[in-house]
Amino acid sequence: MSEENWIEVGSTDSIEEEDLIRFDHQDKTFCVYKLTDGFYATDGICTHEAVHLEDGLVMDDEIECPMHQGIFNIKSGEAISPPACEDLKTYLVKVDNDKIFIKID
Amino acid sequence: MKNNIIILGGGQAGIYAAREIRQNDSKSNIKILGEENLLPYERPPLSKDFLLDKKKEEDLYFYSSDVLKNENIEFENISINKVDFENKKLFAKNDNVYSYDSLLISTGSENKKLTLDNNLKNDIYYLRNLEEAKKIKEIVSNKNKITIIGGGFIGLEIASSLSQLQKKVIVIEIGNQLMGRIIPKQIADLVQNTHIEHGNEIILNKQIEKITKKNGDYGILLNDNSLIETDFIIAGIGSTPTVKLFENTNLKLDNGIVTNQFCETSIKDVYAAGDVSNFYHPFYERNMRLESYQHAQNHGICAGKNIAGVKTEYSSIPWMWSDQFNLNLQLTGICDEYDEIIERGNDINNGVIYFFLKNNKIRGACGVGIIGKVGRDIRITSKLTEKDNIVDKQILSDQNLKLNKLIQK
Ligand SMILES: Cc1cc2nc3c(=O)[nH]c(=O)nc-3n(C[C@H](O)[C@H](O)[C@H](O)COP(=O)(O)OP(=O)(O)OC[C@H]3O[C@@H](n4cnc5c(N)ncnc54)[C@H](O)[C@@H]3O)c2cc1C
Ligand code: FES
């Protein structure tokens, strides 16, 4: 994949630890998380019924959907608690000069 | 030792119990007996996305037949109509007999029926299972003015879905607010306003005197002598635990099957879980019966562990949701035992939550808001409830202060 696919999300201090921000790019929505060991990114919409995960709760390595408490692992995207059953897509993240970038394919 | 484990009732609690037993016990025979000729499926979409055609039948199943086969869990479509707890046997209508060493009862709940003095019994529709949902979906496609009797969660969800299908919907509720007294009146009113804004008519405080039929249409006479004309009637007037089968047995019943915190009933080797069980909750130190998705799942899992010999207490803080139009309502804990109520927010666009406190500790909360707006705070509330600490009321009442501060404290 080419360098162009790395999109700048914002500065590293724009996210509190154990929290997330929503990032919209073209017609897609992403969530970018700051966990204790670094930054991660997933699709921003729950795979269950299309609600924005930006309003969800980040706990340890998991994001819990605000609508029906479906839970996903932030690092792998795995759906780990129903009613969510379809995995969440994850994206590569890099930090360069205190800026966060995600790789969109 | 190899056991015969039977799960009576093939719904949500039943399937989660079966898989949990298998996780802890690779040898026993596990058989689910279910009277619906369907593998266990999710009911919440029946009143919502299934009616709206956003979810299809195949989207509703918890697990495929392959998963059951791989885990050696048998599902048999049969209706049980007699039990003999003494000799550990179940009897089916077709004379089949099933012997068990351990039994889980997960027969769920059933809809209360209207008592009508004429023979219009078959003209009133109810919604509990997929078959009924399919029927309703098919018939409403040719109807325009639909009346829902009962302003509870399921009735209102159907009202929301049918309105989205461009139907004229009337909801008749006997009480003075929607969704029962357990929901704060202010929240019920916010939900009611949303229904009205979408064109639904809500009639409160009215009882049905009589229903008549003429030329295929119905007239519903209310106790103030007003007449509602309608071409289709659905009733959602509450439910009762499915326990008829056990009424003349030794099994202790009281608003469902009485169980302790280990899902054990009054009879040895007989367990109950899900909607049918009135279980002891050690945190609240009382019995309760819940009809909720999350409870059916977690209670089933807990029963499965106990049946497999892994003694596990059930102390999950209750939680449920309802989706109507663009609103998501959530309840956590219990909202009927409190000495103080604290309000957080007053605008449905940002979410509105009522906390119920006793001795300065949270016992439960009810919130409603545009989809996504109350979930995180309600989830944090469940955690705060579990922690059982005295809470800072200033943070609870001020929407500008984040609730997770209270967890970190
Ligand atoms: C329309 C609808 C919408 C809902 N929406 C929500 C929601 O939005 N949020 C939420 O939290 N909860 C919701 N619920 C509640 C939730 O679905 C239930 O609490 C849950 O399904 C209970 O699971 P259960 O296993 O106890 O019972 P069920 O899933 O009802 O399963 C019981 C099964 O046992 C079978 N059975 C009974 N007697 C016998 C017998 N004698 N022999 C053989 N089989 C038998 C029944 O046919 C049934 O298949 C909704 C329920 C309905 C009906
Ligand atoms: S929308 Fe996320 S779990 Fe349902």
Is residue A16 in some structural domain? yes
A56–B376 C-beta distance less than 8 A? yes
Q: What is the mean pLDDT of residues B250-276?
A: 98
Residue with tokens 């497999």: B308
Q: What is residue A2's predicted lDDT score, i.e. its pLDDT?
A: 53
* Residue B13 parent element (H or E): helix B12-24
Domain CATH code at residue B210: 3.50.50.60
Is residue A20 in some structural domain? yes
Q: Say if residue B72's pLDDT is above 90.
A: yes
Q: Among residues B333, B330, B408, which one has the least CA distance to residue B376?
A: B330
Domain count, chain A: 1
A82–B372 C-beta distance less than 8 A? no
Question: Does residue B47 contact residue B162 with C-beta atoms inside 8 Å?
Answer: no
Q: What is the mean pLDDT of residues A97-102?
A: 96
Q: What is the mean pLDDT of residues B231-252?
A: 97
Distance separating alpha carbons of residues B177 and A101, to the nearest angstrom: 51
Is residue A41 in some structural domain? yes
Q: What is residue B406's predicted lDDT score, i.e. its pLDDT?
A: 85
My answer on whether B127 and B197 are in the same domain is: yes
Distance separating alpha carbons of residues B391 and B368, to the nearest angstrom: 22
Structure ipTM: 0.89
- Summarize pLDDT for B34-66 with one digit per residue, the tens: 999 999 999 999 999 999 999 999 999 999 999
My answer on whether B118 and B233 are in the same domain is: yes
Q: Quote the longest CA-to-CA distance of chain A.
A: 39
The residue among B119 and B302 whose pLDDT is bigger is B302
A55–B373 C-beta distance less than 8 A? yes
Is residue B131 in some structural domain? yes
My answer on whether B253 and B289 are in the same domain is: yes
My answer on whether B207 and B278 are in the same domain is: no
Cβ contacts of A65 on chain B, cutoff 8 Å: 375
Is residue B391 in some structural domain? yes
> Which pLDDT band holds residue A85 (cuts at 50, 70, 90)?
confident
Reported pTM: 0.95
Is residue B379 in some structural domain? yes
Q: Say if residue A82's pLDDT is above 90.
A: no
> Which pLDDT band holds residue A74 (cuts at 50, 70, 90)?
very high
Domain CATH code at residue B395: 3.30.390.30
Question: What range defines the domain where residue B357 resides?
Answer: 326-408
Domain count, chain B: 3
Is residue A55 in some structural domain? yes
Residue with tokens 């469902």: B256
Does A86 reach chain B within 8 Å, measured CB to CB? no
Q: What is residue B1's predicted lDDT score, i.e. its pLDDT?
A: 63
* Residue B73 parent element (H or E): strand B73-77
Q: Say if residue B117's pLDDT is above 90.
A: no
CB burial class (10 A; 0-12, 13-18, 19+) of residue B12? buried
Among B55, B371, B384, which would you mutate to test the A interface (most chain A Cβ atoms within 10 Å of its Cβ)? B371
Question: What range defines the domain where residue A57 resides?
Answer: 3-96
Distance separating alpha carbons of residues A70 and A80, to the nearest angstrom: 8
Is residue A105 in some structural domain? no
My answer on whether B9 and B155 are in the same domain is: no
Q: Say if residue B409's pLDDT is above 60.
A: no
**Both tokens assigned to B46:** 């029946």
Cβ contacts of A52 on chain B, cutoff 8 Å: 372
CA distances from B183 to B149, B355, B364 (A): 19, 11, 11
Domain CATH code at residue A60: 2.102.10.10
From the CA of B328, how many Å to the nearest CA of chain A?
7
My answer on whether B98 and B198 are in the same domain is: no
Strand partners, B352: B368
- Among the partner-chain residues A67, A69, A83, the one whose CB lies closest to the CB of B319 is A69
**Mean pLDDT of the residues in chain B:** 96
Strand partners, A29: A24
Q: What is residue A100's predicted lDDT score, i.e. its pLDDT?
A: 97
